[in-house]
Structure 1
Amino acid sequence: MGCFWVGAVFAVPPAEQVVRIAQLVIDPAQLAAYQAAVKEEMADSVRLEPGVIAIYSVAEKDHPNRLHFFEIYADEAAYRSHIASAHFRKYVKTTQSMILSRVLTETEPVQLSTQRGR
């Protein structure tokens, strides 16, 4: 049975999807380097991994070194595959000294809505 989102039908019900939220504080002196590394990793993830449904990253307006990530994976296996991928391991190695703090939140999807093609 498909999961119905606004304007789209997806094959994976929300109960099987893994949704993670991460809040990171980056060393301001290394912010540009961090952003370059995370953009590369995110682009590789959605291009190479079919189980990565979406990864979003935003920065706080008044504190641009505080980043928030919203990640959606098809299931737990897709998430495990993601964190084992070469591009994710490269990101971790490259950025570990840039990250001042990290808070990871595991969630239970309630409703995930999007418009087709956006």
Structure 2
Amino acid sequence: MSNYAHSQQAEIMVRISEIEIHPEHLEKYKEILKVEAEASIRLEAGVIAIFPMFQKNDPTQVRILEMYKDKQAYQAHLKTEHFQKYKTGTLHMVKSLKLVDMEALDMETASQIFRKLKN
């Protein structure tokens, strides 16, 4: 791994949020999450990715790939108005939440994903 890729990996914070939503709140939750994710990407320079997904076989199982420039960017994200609105507005909709911090195996190759998306 090059020194550049290694220093980038040391800075970037990657997390997967594993969320289970109460079925009766699923559609409203997805609406609120979509707004929050879009605002995070548009308004926060330190947010690299907020990529919400749900399992095809069980849409109440939501996963969010989160990437931040560094831990300070993550801490700043938590204080934003759009995140606070999401968090307080969906608290009763969430059955379970698990935050899993991740380490990239190959950040150098992973960075190519974003270059490919531009084309």
Q: Is the TM-score greater than 0.5?
A: yes
Deviation, 1:108, is: 2.2
Deviation, 1:56, is: 1.0
* In 2: Cα distance, 1:33 partner to 1:42 partner: 14
Q: Which runs of 4+ in 1 moved over 6 A?
A: none
Percent identity (aligned)? 34
Deviation, 1:55, is: 1.2
Matched residue, 1:7 = none
> Cα–Cα, structure 1 residues 85 and 109, in superposed 2: closer, same or farther, change >3 Å?
same
Which protein has the bigger helix share? Answer: 2
Matched residue, 1:41 = 36
Cα-Cα RMSD: 1.6
Deviations 1:55-82 (A, max 9, x none): 1111111101101111100001000000
The alignment partner of 2:88 has SS state of helix
Structure 2 segments unaligned to the other structure (5+ residues): none
Which protein has the bigger strand share? Answer: 1
> Cα–Cα, structure 1 residues 75 and 115, in superposed 2: closer, same or farther, change >3 Å?
closer
Number of equivalences? 111
* In 2: Cα distance, 1:61 partner to 1:33 partner: 18
Matched residue, 1:116 = 115
* In 2: Cα distance, 1:49 partner to 1:2 partner: 23
Q: TM-score, normalised by structure 1?
A: 0.87
Deviations 1:1-41 (A, max 9, x none): 7449xxxxxxx711110001111000111101000000000
Q: TM-score, normalised by structure 2?
A: 0.86
After superposition, where does 1:1-118 map in structure 2 within 5 Å? 2-3=4-5, 13-112=8-107, 113=110, 114-116=113-115, 118=117
